[in-house]
Chain A
């Protein structure tokens, strides 16, 4: 398992979970939006956020400067960093989440942007997910930052320092970006060789990894 230095594991217990009550289901019409969470925290205060990432064991970690982050195999293929947030003083409904990984040497970047609802954690904060979550669940509520195949970075994506940038924008246009220096690593031992192959500098998309790529 890939461990995060400094941040520790942010698990369900750490959040003091509050159940998210599902609203009545509607087959009635398109206007029947059902996001019961509303605003989290203090509307007069500036937004705050913590960067989170999914680990290979389905736990969620808070990411700090100098931490490692896991690159995982998503259903769509390649490798991604599942980057999420824990945030407060924001509208939790229809929040725009943007995650990006930047090569500090060239400024080249890969990013993914999507709309999510934060799940409240009962303390005025909300998160992309509040407990252990599988990859198949995380694809919808975490930014899927596509790190590999690596046709974009000047160095191997694994084992080198990159900048992880996470931005939230709520419906009231409150916006906050947080950047942390991270070291991506191949997060799943069961497919380590393929990860090391497709994430190395100079990999050509579609190249067979048995051709010495690993």
Chain B
């Protein structure tokens, strides 16, 4: 793999974040004024118009360079109070997110928006933008955001526009979390298994709100990662299934889902689970399926509404087809990584859990449901 990190660091155009909104002090160019709803979605994130004052928040990155042969993962930090003030909200009041719009340039591997909680080695105090290249840097280390609740995610190019069910919101409450920070993580790949045609990455998103008197339920989110996977030449078509237990005393409704793996992934399934049955549930309980690793579908309401019974949760399963690594890496390269994780392992050209698409695999499930539960376990 080509090490372009120094070059990319020189070229990254991440010096400024853009906080847009009718009340923002930063000029956002044409389209700043919110259009009438439904807001038309551009294909270029730079052209995503911000909501009108008091109607929603906008988070947008600058365009940044993704050189051939490289993967760039950038973590952008935003203070909720800053976003709220810039968008014409009272920063001491809750922001009730009801509709999410996301636009990414082609080449995006994923974007996630998290609420910052326990700080380990990825500290917002170290900079509003913290960028990793080719697997290096704390923005690539998933343990850093292990307990950071998910707000939104997307994995494909183009646009996503989702209004939650009537009355359902994801609340950002300054009373519960004073000085809350959000982390927008964007991952662009311009390597062997995925390309960024323009050589530029960028993402923009709008978080539209609902008036407090219309709120009836809180949205809950699940970000589950099966980190004990190992896809090896000796088991060419392995599968892995894991669970999340919701500890819900009453049924909940799943209204959004998508799965994430890399190029060895062949099928990603997510099922409603009763909490007492072992094994992969019957196909009738399946509410999500993806057979396209690089552009997995994002399913959401109103097309998706799946019931999870009391005491239940989800089962998520990943199936893989082992593939040889790119020539520049080879089995020797994979074995080096494998042995760094487990020095006594028998090398077998294995892909372990990790963020880099050419040398690692993932089995990550994203699930959105309501009403929110306070004791969800996805270990």
Contact = CB atoms under 8 A, between A and B. Distances in A.
Q: Do A and B bind each other?
A: yes
Interface of A: 20, 22-23, 25-35, 74-78, 80, 93-94, 96, 98, 100, 107-117, 133-134, 136-137, 139-140, 144, 146, 148-149, 151-152, 165, 167, 204-206
Given A28-B324, A137-B342, A33 B233 contact: yes
B278 A204 contact: no
Contacts of B243: 110-112, 146
A77 B379 contact: yes
A75 B230 CA distance: 13
Given A94-B238, A137-B345, A151-B247, A204 B279 contact: no
Interface of B: 117, 143, 146-147, 225-230, 232-243, 245, 247, 275-280, 311, 317, 321-325, 327, 330-331, 341-346, 348-350, 374-377, 379
Contact of A34 (B234, B239, B341, B375): B234
A152 B324 contact: no
Nearest to B228: A139
Contacts of B247: 151-152
A33 B379 contact: no
**A contacts with B: majority SS:** loop
B239 A112 contact: no
A10 to B, nearest CB: 18
A78 B242 CA distance: 14
Contact of A152 (B225, B275, B331, B348): B275
- Smallest CB-CB A-B distances: 9 pairs: A78-B379, A115-B238, A136-B342, A140-B230, A33-B236, A76-B227, A113-B241, A139-B228, A151-B247
A148 B234 contact: no
Contact of A151 (B146, B245, B280): B245
B233 A26 contact: yes
A151 B376 contact: yes
Contact of B379 (A22, A34, A149): A149
Nearest to A134: B344
